[in-house]
Amino acid sequence: MGTLFILMKIRAECKVIYGGEQHIRERLETSPSRTINTAYVERSNLDWRLWDAHLTRKAPTVARSMRWLKAKFAICVACYNLIRPHESLSRGKDRIFRPKNPAMAANVTDHRWSFSELLAYPAICQ
């Protein structure tokens, strides 16, 4: 029995949906890959699915209320950005680990928050 090969031509279209094209080009110049790719989004989606059983694919759990799901997701996002140190942000050129989170990298805060600090912060309800 022979091997069957299927040749397909795939074309991708690049279209600006949000923001200006010049701003996007400037940001891409400073990015590690210098191109738009879905790796960061897919990694982020994986993190959210691992942290919240309601977001897992084919999970037996069901979110009873969209309001609670949004609140829980907001806490996950806050933990990701304010509490959890990220390996890629925490190592400098000397490769020494100094815990750093995305909020610290963006100069939003000067320290890693604790869970107590996060839960004591007044919530902005929408």
Task: Quickly list DSSP for 22-73.
Answer: HHHHHHHHHSSSSS--SHHHHHHHHHHHHH-GGGSTT-S---S-HHHHHHHH
Q: Chain-wide mean pLDDT for the chain?
A: 84
Strand partners, 32: none
Domain ranges of the chain: 21-120
How many degrees, rounded to 5, is the angle at CA 46 between CA 45 and CA 49?
85
How far is C-alpha 60 from the geometric centre of its chain's CA atoms? 25
Show contacts of 40-46: CB within 8 Å, 24+ apart: none
Q: Is the pLDDT of residue 103 over 90?
A: yes
> Which pTM does this prediction carry?
0.63
Question: Model confidence at 82, in pLDDT bands (50, 70, 90)?
Answer: very high
pLDDT of residue 120: 92
